[in-house]
Structure 1
Amino acid sequence: MTATTDTVGGTHGSASRAETFRALHHDRAPSAPLVLPGPWDAVSARAFAAAGFPALATPSAGISAALGYPDSGGTPPEEMFAAIGRIVRSVSVPVSADVEDGYGLPPRELVERLLEAGAVGCNLEDSGPADHQLADPRWHADWLAEVRAAAGGALFLNARVDTFLRGVPDAGAAIERGRLYREAGADCVYPILAPPELLPELAAGIGGPLNAIAVPGGPSPRELGELGATRVTFGGGLQRRIAEEIQGLARELRDG
């Protein structure tokens, strides 16, 4: 791939919003990582914003479940972008969007769709949601560079590293990919499901902001920050938790 410098037009306002979001990732104390709840609809987005969170990050899994589709590429792109747009319009805080592997869209079109939805950033993963195969890291870095070139400063790029998710437990492999993605223009690297004890090594080896996922029974966001995470997200975990509560309420109503 050859990166282009042709940025999507009309992005000055978007760049300003993205810079506001980007600034939230810097100069943070280890005990105070940026915690980004993952809304799956307008109601959940408003609840998180009302609680005082400075920004939000949509999860593809949570939105897919809310729309009735399986995760891992099951949601049609037009429905995902429409859902992201509804979430963005429902709150005044910046919203970043998980768009999986970009749905096969050319970089320029992907950027246009994200900006049309009002997102200030995106998650882009380096394995296919359908075949679960890790992409060649240099190919993926070149693709990220094209996305960066098309977006300019108008989007915060969070590059997800799927080595741990796909059964490659070696921290070195994640660091190699993370460095390539940073060099390609990624603002943050997200080694999803990295064991917490590896976060210090990953943070030191990759450099720059590091995203960690908080899971039930695992370290708290504060503890993840102290281990090296700059920001903490939850994947589809929050939506699943609410779904379980609704199931419990449904049983109570049924058994009256």
Structure 2
Amino acid sequence: MDYKTQRDRAETLRALHAIGVDNAAADNAADDDGPLVLPNAWDAGSAIVFADAGFDAIGTTSAGIAASRGVLDGEVLSRAELLGAVERIAGAVAVPVTADIEAGYGDAPEEVYDTVASAIDAGAVGVNLEDGTGDPADPLAPVDDHAAVLRAARAAAEDAGIPIVVNGRTDVFWLGVGDEGDRLDRAVARANAYADAGADCLFMPGVSDPDTVRALVDRLDAPLNVLGGPGAPPVEALAEAGAARVSVGSGPMRATLALVRDIAAELRDDGTYDAMAGGIPYDDLKTLLEAAAAGREA
């Protein structure tokens, strides 16, 4: 991807978050009503389907990418393998792609700087960085440490000349950290420290009820990303509560694997093929992929 194309996509992604507008494409994006609805892809094919459906931007899912390689989430997949998937996804579509890079693949800010720089080299125009550690005894990184990670991400973007969207994620609600009564205060304090460190958007998985979303929006210093999925309110309700971005994480990938499991069970138990009846016809798939290739070359 050439520099101008990538910079334009970064500006468009920023505009979709109402962060800033510096070009005509971003101007048009900023005119859209409602939150950014961000489907999460795990490979080039899923990204092409989402882009064909008309989404303005696409996120990646680290859990989905890991599962597609047969391993668990949580930086079990090597950084090179994760970023290889990001590069294939970003190269498959003509819309902005923001990459879930977990905790940044490094204990030191300098290591995370390198990861973010490599994600930009792979074509990403946004990154998601989480403060979860994977350690049940100490589930969240110290606030100052994660703030340093986010500053490193911002520095990598500035050095590359690509104004990426940095999504600062806190797992306070996701992991149920602390007493329920002070969880919101704890999450707000962390998130606002992340915004001060350079996060453009703040992600709090585990929160979707409109009252809590409203309470967060009232107190946060940057736009709020909410995780949607079964059991969560629809996008319209989340938008009314003030959410600026609604993503779906690994949900589409897991739903796809559930269909594969149904196909397997039917084929094994009944020797029939009904579960495959809703598949994309081969000729339609060919047309879809040809259109995606033409869009990339335009």
> When the two structures are superposed, what TM-score results if normalisation uses the length of structure 2?
0.77
Match of 1:143 among 144, 149, 152: 149
The size of the alignment, in residue pairs, is: 246
**Alpha-carbon distance between aligned partners in 2 of 1:110 and 1:23, rounded to the nearest angstrom:** 24
Q: What is aligned with 2:286? A: none
- Aligned 8 A contact 1:191 1:212 in 2: yes
- Alignment map for 1:1-256 (pairs within 5 Å): 14-26=6-18, 32-104=34-106, 106-129=111-134, 133-152=139-158, 153-168=162-177, 169=180, 170-196=183-209, 197-254=211-268, 255-256=270-271
- Given that 2:208 and 2:238 are in contact with CA atoms closer than 8 Å, whether structure 1 keeps it comes out as no
Which structure would you say has the larger Rg?
2
Q: Which moved more, 1:143-152 or 1:113-122?
A: 143-152
- C-alpha distance in 2 between matches for 1:108 and 1:73: 16
Residue segments in structure 1 that go unaligned for 5+ positions in a row? 1-9
Aligned letter for 1:125?
E
TM-score for both structures, normalised by structure 1:
0.90
- Bigger drift between 191-200 and 76-85 goes to 191-200
**Aligned match of 1:5:** none
CA-CA distance at 1:28 after TM superposition: 7.5
Measure the CA separation in 1 of the matches of 2:133 and 2:31: 33
> What is the CA distance between 1:112 and its match in structure 2?
1.9
1:12 positional shift: 6.0
Are the aligned partners of 1:14 and 1:155 in contact in 2 as well (CA < 8 Å)? Answer: no
Preserved contact between residue 101 and residue 127 of structure 2 (Cα < 8 Å): yes
Higher relative contact order (CA 8 A, sep 6+): 1
SS in 2 for 1:106: helix
Q: Per the alignment, do residues 179 and 226 of structure 1 end up closer, same or farther by CA in structure 2, a change over 3 Å counting?
A: same
Whether the 8 Å CA contact 1:28–1:230 is kept in 2: the answer is: no
Structure 1 residue 107: deviation in Å? 3.4
Root-mean-square deviation (CA), in Å?
Answer: 1.9
Whichever structure has more helix as a proportion of its residues is 2
